[in-house]
Structures are given as structure tokens and as C-alpha cells.
Amino acid sequence: MVSITVEHLSKSFGDIQALDDVSLEIAAGEIFFLLGPSGCGKTTLIRTLAGFYKPDAGRVLFDGEDVTAVPPHKRQTAMMFQSYALWPHLNVAKNIAFGLEELKLPNAEIEERVAEMLEMVRLRGLGGRSINALSGGQQQRVALARALAVRPRCLFLDEPLSNLDAKLRLEMREEIRTLCREYGLTAVYVTHAQKEALSVADRMAILEGGCLAQVGTPPEVYRAPHSPLVAEFIGETNFIGGIVTRSEDRVAGVDTGLGDFEGIIADPAWEPKVSDLVVIAIRPESLTLRDAPTDGVNAIDGHIERSVYLGEIAQYDLKASDGSSIRLSELNPSTVRDPGKCWQHAQARREDVIILKAPPGEVETRKP
């Protein structure tokens, strides 16, 4: 395993600024995820860490040693690609052995490691099979075995599960996490899949426009996002626009078209002032439906205009008193409330209401 330090990394492609002064620390043995919308810079960052791109400015350090100018094959790392990048003319065993042969290891050691990898990824007995004869999940396991066979200090994964169906994705993400733990690997993982990141990552970084928007553990990022982009990208979120009426000790009061709200200021680098325009973020599961009217702050009244039963949850769209729509979720519902004109009441706890800096432009209330 290896620790990774990124210092003021910048990278451009023509007029496009892919990375802009990115700095972060990845601990040895950590499973670290890079997320963000398309074009945010996450693939550029992982490929720069792996040595495939040379930055315009900044440094990459492994265990404190500057490896910025070190080519990929000398960094003792491995990379898994979205396309798997397997050789179709080689069988399973030869694909796994490819990197070992490049290292010029003795034949006996290569055979031993290939057998070990086949056992590890549950492909024992398939070493002689053609790559084209394998399922997508089996091909993914071959790619993983090939990456781990060289015993890398760090494993880079760029959208490795995007071509698999939902069941295989779930199976493989658990397998990758288990193997990284067993082999003591540092792993840097790019994905668009929120649940994949939340369930596997030790920590994650959200990128926006080539910059770091937030770094933290999955619960930190999910429960206390620092911006509307982060809140919207990681999970579903209701946004309610308003004006700050008071702000002290990281708690703010906000006047909105739905009434008074009180919540937590999550971004430590920002302190709103009275009369500032802000956005309130509330997760659907943080709102509790009640038949009786609710008193005090963080309350929303309206009627259910849409209900969807999803097994473990029931999802409702509440038409609020000001005409806006708010989404709510109930866990393990015994019954599902029908849409209609019956007035409903919802409320959130203060710690589940996040006050965010309003992005440029009009502030509006909207559901996910």
C-alpha cells in the first residue's frame, strides 16, 4: 500500500481547464472515490495519478516521494479500465500473465501467480478459455486478476463496473472492496454510481469544473454537503430558496415561501449574513409525514399529488401550500397513502436541514 499526496495539480487540454489547483491526501490502504458530473476532471485526475498524463503544474507524491515524472510502468501501480482492455487473442491465463511477463519474472513464478489469481477471482479451471467465451462478469474478474497479479502498491479503477448489469455490479463492488482489504491496497476509484461510492468508499472527493467541491467520508458528504451540486449529485435532495434572518454558531434561520426554517451551515469556509439569499437542502427521507398539523419551524403543509411504492420505501410528492413540489420517503411502510386533496403535514429536524450558499441566478424551490 502507498499514501498519495496531490499538490496544486493543474492540467489543461487546449482551452479546457480539466484540473485547476487540486490538492488532496489519500492515506495508505484507503479506498478513495472520485465523483462528479461528466467533464468535472475526475478521469483526468486518476490518469494523472497513474502517470498517463503529465500535469501542467503541481506534483504527485507516493509515500512522500515525487513521482510526477515517473512513467506508469515504474510506479508499481495497476489500472482497471471501463472497457477491461483484455487481449482477445490471448486466453484467460495469458491475459493475467501479461504484466508478469513484462516484468520478466521466472516462468515458474508466473504460473504460480496466475493460479493464485484464478483462485482468488473464482475462475479456477478457466485459464485456457478464450476471453470471448466469458460473460461480462467473468471478463471483469480477469481484468481484476491481471491488475492484482503484479502486486501493485495502488490500484486505479476508472468506471470498472459501468458495463455490468445491476446484480453483477453489486457482486463485483463487494468483491473489489474485499480484495483491496485483503491485499492491503490503496485504491483510487472513479465512478458515476452514487450507491457504489457510498457503499465502498472510505472517503470520497466530489469534483466540479476541475476543482475539489468537497472531500469527506460517505456519511459526511451525504449528510452535510457543502454546495447544491454536491447535495444533488450524492442522493436525492429537495431545494428550498430563502433569505437568512439570523446566523450564529453554525446555525441559520431562513424565511421561505413555505415558512420559517432553521438548519445547519455545513460548509466551514462559508458564513451567511442576514438578508443573504440561500438554498435549504432537505433529503426526502428526512421529512416525516404526519396527519396532524405541525408547529414551529421546518414544517411543510400540502397534499399528496403522487405516491410510488418501491418495496422498502414509499415515495411521495407533496404539493405544498405555495404551489411548489416536495419529495418525501417513508421507510418500510405498512400502507401507502393515496394521492388526493387530504391535507398532509411534514416536518424535518434541525440537524437534517442544511443551509447552502445560493448559486448564481434565481433561487427556487424544487424537488429532486
Distance spanning both ends of the chain, measured CA to CA: 39
Helix (H) or strand (E) holding 189: strand 186-190
- Measured CA to CA, the distance from residue 5 to residue 19 in angstroms comes to 15
pLDDT at 143 over 90: no
C-alpha cell of residue 340: 388526493
What is the per-residue pLDDT for 364? 63
Q: What is the pTM of this model?
A: 0.86
Q: In which residue ranges of the chain is CATH 2.40.50.100 found?
A: 236-357
Q: Tell me the residue length of the chain.
A: 368
Note the pLDDT tens digit of each residue in 265-281. 999 999 999 999 999 99
- Measured CA to CA, the distance from residue 45 to residue 10 in angstroms comes to 9
What is the per-residue pLDDT for 67? 96
CB 327 within 8 A of CB 316: yes
* 236-357 to CATH, choices 3.30.70.3340, 3.30.565.10, 3.40.980.10, 2.40.50.100: 2.40.50.100
Note the pLDDT tens digit of each residue in 175-213. 888 888 888 889 999 988 888 899 899 999 999 999 999
- Measured CA to CA, the distance from residue 294 to residue 365 in angstroms comes to 20
Average pLDDT of span 321-346? 85
What is the per-residue pLDDT for 367? 63
Note the pLDDT tens digit of each residue in 32-88. 999 998 889 999 999 999 999 999 999 999 999 999 999 988 888 988 887 778 888
CATH fold, domain 4-223, is Rossmann fold (3.40.50)
Average pLDDT of span 105-130? 89
Query: Would you list the DSSP string of 278-331?
Result: EEEEE-GGGEEEESSPP-SSSEEEEEEEEEEE-SSEEEEEEEETTS-EEEEEEE
Q: In which residue ranges of the chain is CATH 3.40.50.300 found?
A: 4-223
Note the pLDDT tens digit of each residue in 213-253. 999 999 999 999 999 999 999 989 999 999 999 999 999 99
What is the per-residue pLDDT for 368? 65
What is the per-residue pLDDT for 283? 96
Of 162-176, 181-195, 278-292, which gets the smallest average pLDDT?
162-176
